[in-house]
Structure formats: structure tokens, C-alpha cells
Chain A
Amino acid sequence: MNEQNNEIHFVVDSESVDNVGDADELDHELRYESVEPLDIEPSGNSSQEAFEATITAKPLMLIQRSHQHSKILPQVYNEIASKYSDYIDYGAVVPMPRMSPKQIKAYFNSIPDVSLKIADPESFARMDSFGKTLRDQRDDQPYVGPSTISNWDYLTKPLPNGPTKSWVSEVVSNQYESGATLILSPGLWLDPANSTGSLDSVREQAEWCREAVQDSDLFAVNLTLPSAWLSNPILLEKLLNVLLDLDESTFYIRVRWPLLANPYGQLLDTSILSGYIELASVLDENDKVLITANTGLTGWLLLGRGAHGLSTGLGTGERSFADTRVIKIKQKGPRPAPTPRVFESPLLHVIDKNTSDRIHALGNTGTCGCVFCTHQSSSTTAPFSKPNAGAHYLLETARLTAEVASADNRLDAVKSLVDDAVSLRLAVAKNVPLTGTNDPKHLSVWKNLLV
């Protein structure tokens, strides 16, 4: 536990303070997980499967392995496979530097039926990339903890003259050795203050990555961007010019969002959202595949505008890649109890459990019958299960993705589901006002963007 003068430090990615109970304690987050990895060899590369999974017309849902509660993910994949695999492709992502090689292999082996596996190099965490800012936003605690960083030389190796071909090759090798089936380029931070230099480096790294991947294996150009690249028209134009000019056709793009309004919230900045929409539609028009990393439901929205895939996860850190801050609380007693929260899919929003129960009591929405919710409700005395709530969210996101995928027109399908959510919000408002963190503020923003 991170204690300074009896303070507990929590890292959060929203302005609201009432998600402290949900947040990871900084010290705990950095601790090497005690789960013993399974002693099984990786299942090997399945590049053909990965290739098929990425370029089919089906949208792609990637699940980022979370720091906590990830043991439930194999069951989530099984549920998605049995219910929605006719409509969507799905895959797994691990944050390579924040796990040990053994942990990654054990995790990938626990999901043998998931063919698309990504070991995200997260090179932006290098201290000469975005790592220092990440550390500053986390009260001087690094994004990659000391227990795992020693496994990954590419994160600490000095690059005095910028990325090199051998360094990119090392990043690629590490992914192969981890059992990845879709390789990513390093994904360094793109500095908008040096836009031309950053984009030239993207080209160079993509070229080196293409040379390093085996034979015709598919790889995705991996970009980590400050949001200015989407909100500033000049930067967006430069970015799109390069993305269309590259020979590669698959892009895995992670954008740093500003601090969110709500825990588990969505991006509300219309200039960034408009940039996302332009990015998604331009790439789609030109036969290029966009996977928006760490976007959660915002990524789902973008499926209606041409994005091919999204990534999300159990925790807030997987559902977005947003600025963080640290909340310090004097330790007078035990850690604050987490607020039980559930994903209310008809509202396209995460709300607290009590409010969810009150909405269901009105009869406007049915009770979720998924295996995770059934388990959650099977005992009135058992404590609220965060893993089950997270798994329900993932399964529902898969269902929403499948619903969009099965429609004749994806944009119309997204619009229809957003309209339904807006209507539901109005219908329940008289009896169950949705305020504070329960307020799905993003719905009105989305509705305007979908016009």
C-alpha cells in the first residue's frame, strides 16, 4: 500500500471523487501479481487465423487483459464465442511491459480458442517517450512497475538518436516470443510539437516492422497520440496524409483522452470525437482498417462511422487511455467500500447498482439473464462481485457490437441504439433522476455527432 503520513493514494481517470473505491491503489497496481503462471508452453503463432480475424468484414472486439480480476476473462471469451462469433471477431490484448513473459504465456494459454492475440509493446511508456508524463500523473510512480520492467530491455535501452531498426526488431521479437499472432509496431508517443519528425519516424518504424515480421504475417501500425492530433485540424490533416500514404492497411491507434467526467465514462470532447470520426471514415473509405485501442463504448460508437474494431476491458484503465490524477485520502479506517456499479446497456452507461435496481423496478427494461448477472444475483448475502459486473459489461459490449454488425447499415444501428438510450433516460427521469456519475452525459454529445 502506498502510504505517506497515513495517506492512501489512488490513481483515477475521472474528475469525480466517488470512484475512489473502484480505483486501484497505486502501490497495489505496481506489485507483481501473485498468481502463479501455468507451466504450459505457448500455443504457437497462428498467423493465418490472426489474418482472417483482422480483415473479415466482421467488427473486431479486443479485450485488454486487466490488472485485476482477469481470471474471469476465459469465461467471457467462451460466452462471446458461443453467442456472437457469427457476427463479430474477438481477440485478446496483454500489456506486455506490465506483465512478465511467463504471465503472458500463461494467460494466452488459458484462452486457446482465441486466435487473435496481441502483446502490446506499449513503448510509449519509455521515459524518453510518454513515460515521464505518465509517472508525473501518478504521483511519481512509473506506469511500468519495477517487477516487470526488468523483463523488457526495449523499454529501457537508451535510444540517443531515436528508434533504430534493431530496436524495432527487438520489439517485434518480444511479441512473437510472447505468443502474439498480430504484431504491432512499437507505438511510441507522437509529439505534436515535432509533427513532421514524429510522422517520419512512424513511417520508418512501420518499414522496419514490416521487415521484422515473419513472411506475410499481418502487422498493425501502432500509434499512441495526444488528443491534439485529432482535435487540431492541421495535425489531423498531416496524420491522415501519412496514414493514407503508408503501404500498411491496419492501424491500432490509442489516443490520450483528457480526464473523464465520470468513472467508466466516455469521451465528451466534441473536437476529439469529430477527429476520431474523420479518422475512422477516411480510413474506411480507403480500405484501411482502424482499431481504436482503449475506447470502450466510444469505440463502439465509432463502428458506426467506419472504425473496424475497438478494445476495452474489465477496468476503467482498459476502457479508456485517459489522463489520471491521484487522490490522497487520510487512512482513518479500512479502504472505502467500492460503489457497486453495473453497465446498464439500454442506457449505454455504467451506473450504481441501487439506481440500476430502481430503473428495473419501473419495468422499462428487462433483467439481464447473462451468466455473470445470474451469478451476481444468485445470492443476496454475497458481496457484490466486481469481476462479474465487469464480465457482464464485456459480454454486453460484444452483444451491442454484434447488433451493429448484423444490421444492414452500421451507422443506422448505432443511431437507433443511442436514440433508444436517450428515450429510456427521459422515460425514467421522473422516477429515477440520473444525476452525478449516473448521468449518461455522453448521450446528447453522441446524438449530435450521429446526425
Chain B
Amino acid sequence: MEQKFEKAAIAAALEDDSVEYLGTGTFGESWLSHGRAIKIIHNPNQRLDRLQREIDSHQRIDHSNVVKLFLARSIEISGNRHAALEFEYIDGDSVRSTIAEGRPDAATLREFARGIISGLNALHDAKLIHRDVKPENIALRGGNLTDPVILDLGTAKLLDMDSITQYPTIIGTTMYMAPEQLRSERALKASDLWSAGVVIYELATGHHPFFTDGAKITLNEALELLSRDFYMPESLPIDLATLIRKLLSVPAYQRGTGNKALRIIGKGTVK
């Protein structure tokens, strides 16, 4: 995606001449400034006060698999107010670029799954739901798949994810949404677990379990595809296959809790 803001405008807004452009996502773009990643939302005049509870909760999270949120504020860029979220800067690629590089071994995939699910548990314990877990929103600390970090929390709610689930559409960010999100129902903790299941599957196989990238389908077609069985490589160890199958259960409750998922791959909280 294209860079929309001029470097000079960002440098002025952040009062940092050494800002560096990091990349553009669905809703905004990220800049490196004073060692922090600043996510600036494209649409102007987004009200941060709508998100205050989420911001407060996120700021209290101290977990290695969740990006640290330092500050949320509004900045002026070329005469417009834009929401800006200051995050910990993770020096490493996102999972998206890693998927293209080849398949990780089972031990690495297991560690990746543990990291993502542990991070989601931390979010959920803070009464937060991510709503938009996808490869682009998972960074790899030091480029290591065994050290994933969940990014971009709060952006989804800020930008009102309901507005991007209108069909027919080119499947983009909705590729990772749980069936209940596609039905515009309330997002659950289990919705994040579904998305994590899709990402883990994609890392394991190199492709999405249900959709072809770029396909144009209706909502009903999408929901029908999600309910189909999907190919599971025989080479995948039984615990990882079980985990993925569980996380990709259409009824949300059948995905279980994050702790249950961790136990499947050998590290959970004992009752």
C-alpha cells in the first residue's frame, strides 16, 4: 500500500527530523520516531476518546508477545487532526513476509503458536479483543518466528471494522475474520483465536485454509467456505493439527479458551 503522508509533514507533526517511514496498513501508516513506531490513522478526525478504555487497558499490558502501547494522542498533519498511537518499535519482519519464505519446522511453528496464543491471552485478560489478527499485524522480534508480537490493537475498533465486512468485496482483511465477525455479530475472544488459527495454518502450509487471495465472493459464499473441511498436511504433528482444527471450528465455543489451546501444544495453565 502507498505512503500517503509526506515525510516533511510527519517530521513537523512529530517534531523529529529523523523520522523514517515504516509502512502502510489498512487504516494508516507507521513511522519510526525516537525509537518508537508511530501509527498514524489516515482518516482525519477519528476520536480517540471512543477508545479510551481500550487504550488504558492496552497500556497496562506488559507481555512480550504484545506490542507495548506508550501513548495515544492526536497530532496535526497539514491542517488536519489525526489519531496517532505510539508503540514499541519491533525490529523485524511481519509474518506476512515470512510466509512467502518457506515452511518453518514443527518446533518453530509450535513456539510461534504459543507466542500468539499467549499474547492473545494477555489481551483477553485485559478485557480486550483484537478483532484483526492477521499476518500483517504480527511482527517477529529480531526476525524470529519463535518470538511473535501482536501489533495494531485498537485500530480495528477505531476504524469500525463493521464497515469493512460488506460483501461482495475483494477479500482482504476479512480473510482472517471468524464466521461470527463476518455475520456482523459481536467479536469474541474466540474470534481472535480463529484468526490465529488461520495464520498458524498459513504458516504451516503456505496458503489460506479456505480462500484464494483476490477472489471475489459474497458473504454467504464466504460463510459456506468457512464451514467446509480443509486440507491438513499429514506431515503436521498431531498436536499442531489438533490445535488448528480446534481453532478453526465454526461454532465459537468449540475453539475453547486460549489456555485450552496452549495445553494442546503442551504449555497451559493447569486447572
Contact = CB atoms under 8 A, between A and B. Distances in A.
B61 to A, nearest CB: 15
A240 B251 CA distance: 9
Interface in A257-290: 282, 285-287
Contact of A241 (B125, B127, B252, B260): B252
B253 interface: yes
B contact face: mostly helix, strand, loop, or mixed: helix
Interface in B226-271: 251-254, 256-257, 259-260, 269, 271
A237 B256 contact: no
A285 B190 CA distance: 15
Contact-residue bracket for chain B: 10 to 19
B189 interface: yes
A240 B190 CA distance: 11
B251 A237 contact: yes
B253 A287 contact: no
B127 A247 contact: yes
A57 to B, nearest CB: 8
A286 B257 CA distance: 6
Interface in A268-321: 282, 285-287
Interface residues of A, number: 12
A240 B188 CA distance: 12
- Which of B180, B252, B259, B260 has the largest number of chain A CB atoms within 10 A? B252
Contact of A287 (B124, B188, B269): B269
A245 B259 contact: no
A286 B190 contact: no
B257 A240 contact: no
A282 B254 CA distance: 8
Interface in B142-194: 180, 188-190
A244 B257 contact: yes
A287 B124 CA distance: 16
Interface string A236-263: 0100110111010000000000000000
A244 B253 contact: yes
Contact of B190 (A57, A241, A247, A287): A241
A245 B127 contact: no
Nearest to B124: A247
A187 to B, nearest CB: 21
Interface in A22-74: 57
A282 B259 contact: no
A286 B263 CA distance: 10
Given A247-B127, A287-B269, A287-B271, A241 B257 contact: no
Nearest to A55: B271
A245 B190 contact: yes
Contacts of A286: 256-257, 259-260
B259 A244 contact: no
Nearest to A207: B127
Nearest to B189: A245
Contact of A282 (B127, B253, B269): B253
A264 B70 CA distance: 62
Contacts of B127: 247
A241 B259 CA distance: 16
A244 B251 contact: no
Nearest to B187: A245
Interface of B: 124-125, 127, 180, 188-190, 251-254, 256-257, 259-260, 269, 271
19 contacts: A237-B251, A240-B251, A240-B253, A241-B180, A241-B188, A241-B190, A241-B251, A243-B253, A244-B188, A244-B189, A244-B252, A244-B256, A244-B257, A245-B189, A245-B252, A282-B253, A285-B260, A286-B256, A287-B269
